[in-house]
Amino acid sequence: MRVSIPNPAAAGLAVVVGAGTTAGADMGLLAPAAAALGVALAFAVVLLLTRPTTDDADTRVHRMVVAPVALVLAVAAGVLGGAVVDWWLIEPVAYPLGALIGSVAAFLLYRRLATTLALSVAAVVAAGVLALAVTALVLWISGVAPFHAFGRMLEFGLQPDSLVIMVNSGTTFYLSAVAVAIGFKMKLFNIGVDGQYRLAALMAAAVGGAWVLPPVVHQVVVITVAVAVGGFWAGIAGYLKVTRGVSEVISTIMLNSVATGITAYLLNTDRLAVQISTNNIGTREIAETGWVPGIPAGFMGADREIFGLVVLAVAVGVGYWLMLNRTRFGFDLRATGQSPTAARASGIDIKRMVLLSMVISGMVAGLVGMPQLLGQSHYYALDFPTGLGFTGIAIALLGRNHPVGIGFAALFWAFLDQSSQILDFEGIPKEIAVVTQATIVLTVVVVYEVVHRWGLRYQQQQVGRELARGDREEAAAS
Amino acid sequence: MSSAPSGGGEAPPAVELRGITKRFPGVVANHDIDIAVEAGTVHAIVGENGAGKSTLMKTLYGMHRPDEGTIAVKGETVRLGSPSDAIKHGIGMVHQHFMLADNLTVLENIVLGAERRGGIGRGARARITSLSEQYGLGIEPDRLMEELGVGQRQRVEILKVLYRGADIVILDEPTAVLVPQEVDELFENLRELKREGLTVIFISHKLDEVLSVADTITVIRRGTTVATVDPGRTSARELATLMVGGELPVPELRESTVTERPMLEVGNLEVGEPGGRRVVDDVSLTIREGEIVGIAGVEGNGQSELIEAIMGMRPVERGTVRLDGRDITGWGTLGIREAGVGYIPEDRHRHGVLLESPLWENRILGHQGEAPNARGIWIDRAGARADTERIVADYDVRTPGIDVIAEALSGGNQQKLIVGREMSGRPKVLVAAHPTRGVDVGAQAAIWDHLRRARSEGLAVLLVSADLDELIGMSDTLHVILRGRLVAQADPMTVTPEELGAAMTGAGLKDAAGSGGEGEDGA
């Protein structure tokens, strides 16, 4: 029972229903619940009035997977949109606006969402639920009420200051994960991001502290040094692999240790370091011309500032995506990762690709320490954060090496890190967040493999159907 | 069929498949398969590539379970959950690709995994010797596997199956790796097995062979059994019609289009292996504009290495490769490709496609630097996609769209895409290794057509194939390669597959047409 009405009219009607319901329900319900209800109704309108434009409309897969995923995403978009708009506008206005966003999303998603993408999203959601269930089980076994703990984490994690910290650590995590992901795309395991960014940050801090340059030039010089050092350090592993066949896993682990040794040697008051406080030494502080100012987060009610270099992370993400999907180099990279034999037959110089991708991975790794260095501490000291390279590996896995996926994964990771801080005050070990993080990485990896196989079978079935149709036409013709 | 020693006329069939249906995530599934294999006979199952023969045999060998239907062995309905279940019921399988360890002896290979039947020592040796004598396989248990030829290896595989107590032996495309003389020997062995009361299920798509050895022939087309015939009352042509539901295409060239302009000249080419062995030894050949030059040889005699050297994938030790007069020796693969050499690799999955990438990205593979795929450092998505649509239409690639990943297509359709890709951009030379291997008859005919058309437009083709009919039918000039050397030249107009097969094993071609041919070309 499908009424045929033009698409713009259907979209308009959905928006009116969504926003209107939200505004009405806002009187009686909590605003987010009202927005969810509104978007859900708008989705129903879309469902009744339009058809998906994808090839597999009206199949069981579409009804069972794509439509529910579209619904969930639309509702999430509506509620999140409302919450963000709420920072500037009053609630009765903000949430209907959010519902409006959600309704448009409902219209677009229902009609356009590709099956494989929907499957991936469903997989991530499933993995998340599974990871939370495992965490709840661990909490319950250790005698803590799981929902109490989760409630406290959610409450603390959503406070404005926590959100700012989440974005800031997410920025660092993101850069680290992209560095790892570039290697992963080539089936190269760059475990050395950790050493690369620490060495790069130390050198960049030393150079930045030694010279005083005009603004902009100063930052550019510091960042360039970091990129060069990171690329060089990773390039050693690449060079060894290409010329001597040394596994990059081994060499990067070793180079991590060497980097630790070098930083310990250089970070000494006889060499690069100065006394910062009674029990801390670090490089000379970078002059203010070299700082990257933060973005005030007063609009969301926070006192802290967001790292200015969040822009750099976004740029790196866009660049990574462009490089991978739009350039010849990215094509060669992906081809080599998928099938070195086919890559060689197609004329790709595999050794060159290994060396280059290792160097590029290291260059991005060099950026990992920059938001912290230029945005907050302004010197490299003994307390500079370590281990970010390993976090990057987990986040790259979680985000499936996709620039957007990594973004969500980095924020999620940072959210768990930040929100678990409250648990200490409740007498609950905050390491519980680590359990969640570990479980979700494992489950995502497993669930994705399953989804990958489903996707392949699904495509094969579609091809089979196409062939069967060709045969039928032939039979009909003869 | 009087040789079937079945006691009493009413003995149940050795194997009976009823209504077998296998829904398989792929292009061809089996449906409503009905086959009854009488004990003590050679029962052939024929069908074109991709008709569902292998799926069926995997079902019978317990490698996967049918969705519907029953399997009865010697009158008793069985459930085969794994190959070991199948062996328990006396069903053994000889795979197309041998599963033997080169560094072990024949005896060790046979007892490997079956140590509990007769141990690994004297008992095993006695059993192997007696089985070998009983079935006339002529196997020496102490030879090292690596010393044996292909035919002997196949006999070891058969003995392996017999040793495990099988009395129903499935042979999957056993002749694909053999030269004609070895095929005859194999058939002698099969007749011996039959005389001894064993049942043989023989899978093939080569009709002449099937007609000469089988007692009963079942034809499979598009996943189902279409007919069961008596070889005495049918012909190859009839079988072919049943198999493809139409006329069987033949590879043949019409008028010669060979010109005098050499496009690819290989001069005294030598390629070595890391071990120091020379795998291509002093090879010289010339391919002229509009000419197809075929290379015949048993696999592993240097064909692959010759092609890889021409394509710049393997270092050349000595000698030259010239393309249209330009010396391209030592160039990189991409440079050679961009200079105008198309390449259809022998191993589609390893070298020809990115299985997990969509078709339009596979269009780019190997042509990253050229229009319509790229502009400067950027990939031209729109251009590549439009050109992929063109290839899909012109080369009849059966697919729902160009965003489908390559792995979802059948082998024939993948190959058509590769052929279309390599013919794009008007190459001067096409290096084609087994261009129709593992593709169905329809695709095979289409690929031959494309080769013929390109040849008449002046393409020079180097054709390596294991299909002697294809080589003889498609080539203007035919070389035989043996242990890395071009040992003979044959005239495709007069040579027979048997003569060619003999030359491939080193029996010599009696200097039929190629006296000193290499010397002249190598200038």
- A401-429 tens-digit pLDDT: 999 999 999 999 999 999 999 988 888 88
Tell me the shortest Cα–Cα distance from B86 to chain A, in angstroms: 27
State the smallest CA–CA distance between residue B398 and chain A in angstroms: 6
Place B7 in a pLDDT band, splitting at 50, 70 and 90.
very low
Query: Best residue in B353, B357, B368, B404 to probe A by mutation, most A CBs within 10 Å?
Result: B368
Of B25, B381, B398, the CB nearest to A466: B398
Three-class HEC string of chain A? CCCCCCHHHHHHHHHHHHHHHHHHHCCCCCHHHHHHHHHHHHHHHHHHHCCCCCCCCCCHHHHHHHHHHHHHHHHHHHHHHHHHHCCCCCHHHHHHHHHHHHHHHHHHHHHHCCHHHHHHHHHHHHHHHHHHHHHHHHHHHCCCCHHHHHHHHHHHHCCHHHHHHHHHHHHHHHHHHHHHHHHHHCCCCCCCHHHHHHHHHHHHHHHHHHCCCCCCHHHHHHHHHHHHHHHHHHHHHHHHHHHHCCCHHHHHHHHHHHHHHHHHHHCCCCCCEEEEECCEEEECCCCHHHCCCCEECHHHCCCCEECCCHHHHHHHHHHHHHHHHHEHHHHHHHHHHHCHHHHHHCCCCHHHHHHHHHHHHHHHHHHCCHHHHHHHHCCCECCCCCCHHHHHHHHHHHCCCCHHHHHHHHHHHHHHHHHHHHHHHHCCCCCHHHHHHHHHHHHHHHHHHHHHHHHHHHHHHHHHHHHHHHHHHHHHHC
Q: Quick check: B277 pLDDT over 50? A: yes
Residue A474, pLDDT above cutoff 60? no
- Tell me which of A55, A322, A344, A346 to substitute to probe the interface with B (most B C-beta atoms closer than 10 Å): A346
CB contact under 8 A, B404 and A335: no
* Residue A344 distance to chain B (closest CA, Å): 7
Interface A–B counts its CB contacts (< 8 A) at: 115
Does the structure's ipTM exceed the value 0.90? no
Query: Residue A1 — very low, low, confident or very high, per pLDDT cuts 50/70/90?
Result: very low
- pLDDT band at residue B320 using 50, 70 and 90 as cut-offs: very high
In this prediction, residue B1 carries a pLDDT of: 40
A456 neighbourhood in chain B, CB within 8 Å: 25, 405, 407-408
What pLDDT digit, counting tens, does each position of A269-279 carry?
A: 888 888 888 88
Q: Which chain B residues contact residue A335 at CB under 8 A?
A: 354, 357, 365
Which domains, and CATH codes, for chain A? 7-113 (no CATH), 150-428 (1.10.3470)
* Inter-chain touch A347–B334, beta carbons under 8 Å: yes
Residues B193-241: tens digit of each pLDDT: 888 889 999 888 777 788 888 999 998 877 788 889 898 888 877 787 7
Instruction: List chain B residues with CB under 8 Å of A339.
Output: 350, 354-355
Quote the percentage of chain B above a pLDDT of 70.
90
Q: Is the alpha carbon torsion for B406, B411, B417, B418 positive or negative?
A: positive
Residues of A in contact with B405 (CB under 8 A): 456, 459
pLDDT tens, position by position, A42-59: 888 888 888 777 766 667
User: Is A351 touching B (CB cutoff 8 A)?
Assistant: no
pLDDT of residue B123: 85
- Min Cα–Cα distance to chain B from A407, Å: 24
Please state, for a pLDDT cut of 90, what percent of chain A lies above it.
49
More confident residue, B333 or B113: B333
Mean pLDDT, chain B, whole residue set: 84
CB–CB of A50/A106 below 8 Å? no
pLDDT averaged over every residue in chain A: 89
Query: Which of B27, B48, B244, B422 to mutate: most A Cβ within 10 Å?
Result: B27
Instruction: Give the pLDDT mean for B99-126.
Output: 84
Can you give the pLDDT at residue B510?
A: 52
Task: Mutation target for B interface from A348, A460, A478: give the one with most B CBs within 10 A.
Answer: A460
pLDDT in tens, A337-371: 999 999 999 999 999 999 999 999 999 999 999 99
Checking if the pLDDT of B103 tops 70, the result is yes
Cβ distance A464 to B313 less than 8 Å, yes or no, reads no
Identify which of B347, B369, B407 has the shortest CB distance to residue A456: B407
Confidence of residue B522 (pLDDT cuts 50, 70, 90): very low
pLDDT value, residue B521: 38
pLDDT for B517 equals 39
Exposed / middle / buried, residue B497 (Cβ in 10 Å: 0-12, 13-18, 19+): middle
| Inter-chain touch B407–A471, beta carbons under 8 Å | no
By Cβ distance, the residue of A335, A342, A349 closest to B352 is A342
Distance from CA of A115 to the nearest CA of B (A): 12
Ordered structural domains, chain B, with CATH: 15-244 (3.40.50.300), 262-340+427-521 (3.40.50.300)
